[in-house]
Amino acid sequence: MVSRTLFVMPLSIFVCLNILLVAHASDFNQDIDITWGDGRGSILNNGTLINLALDQSSGSGFQSKAEYLHGKFDMQIKLVPGNSAGTVTTFYLKSQGLTWDEIDFEFLGNVSGDPYILHTNVYTQGKGDREQQFYLWFDPTAEFHNYSILWNPSHIVFYVDGKPIREFKNLEAMDVAYPKSQPMRMYGSLWNADDWATRGGLVKTNWSQGPFVASFMNYNSDNACVWSINNGTTTTTPCSPGGSSSSSSSSRRMDSSRQKIIRWVQRKFMVYNYCKDKKRFSQGFPVECTAKNKNKTS
């Protein structure tokens, strides 16, 4: 068992980052379709809340009505409380087809008293294997917290409550595949993965604790480019700052204050990094792990 420890981020980091988190009053009825779960997923409170449920028969999930080609995506999530072993709550972007692209937040449940594990991954052309995992510095079941994905042609950045925790850079110049041309939808789900989710599958889901419920609110895709086909021609809407068409340098690279926060999070809370798994990559690490402009902090 790993006990939760509360780490306090130095005030200077908050000051220099100067992030302002603003709640976004989205309407899930307009933005989202509940796509599976046979009634276990519900849009509530006049479209401001989604509850996803999981029982022994099925989980549930939703997807965005729109497809996007780059942008910034925010979701506030409150995870399954108590004994959530075996469950996985997700918030991610994914394209279609056999050679899909995907950008993942997955929250791996655990027995009561153990911390959740935040699992992140990036797929390109149907290939992932770029996992990084973190403990969180708060209880993600007590209240809603904000999780964000920034995706543009230069890099992908994962954020928790406005703090960057991982960056994956575009290193196509070094023959590293990067997701940049396939439109993606946003997805959320709650499902049973007790074959791998908790301690590698050693701890199974305790169905007497169910039904399990995770809640979602304040979805924000205002800084995203909506992709569509009109008369056979593909188009995207203009992106706001933070999206792919922004000329702002902050949307293209991490400034020193954000790099400092990534290093702090990864030093204190990272529990797995594929770029350091010598057993798995005994024949040599992936190029992005060892390149001069490396993704070791990605």
Nearest Cα to Cα of residue 41 among 209, 192, 213, 206? 213
- Strands 60-64, 32-36: pairing kind: antiparallel
* Residue 261 contacts residue 17 (beta carbons within 8 Å): yes
Sign of the C-alpha dihedral, residues 193, 195, 196, 197?
positive
Q: Which of 67, 102, 167, 288 is catalytic?
A: 102
172 as an active site residue: the answer is no
The Cα–Cα gap between 147 and 160 comes to 5
The Cα–Cα gap between 296 and 166 comes to 9
Q: Which of 106, 131, 167, 172 is catalytic?
A: 106
Q: How far is CA 288 from CA 108, 153, 296, in A?
A: 26, 16, 8
106 as an active site residue: the answer is yes
Q: Tell me the CB-side half-sphere exposure of residue 102, using CA atoms within 13 A.
A: 23
Catalytic residues: 102, 106
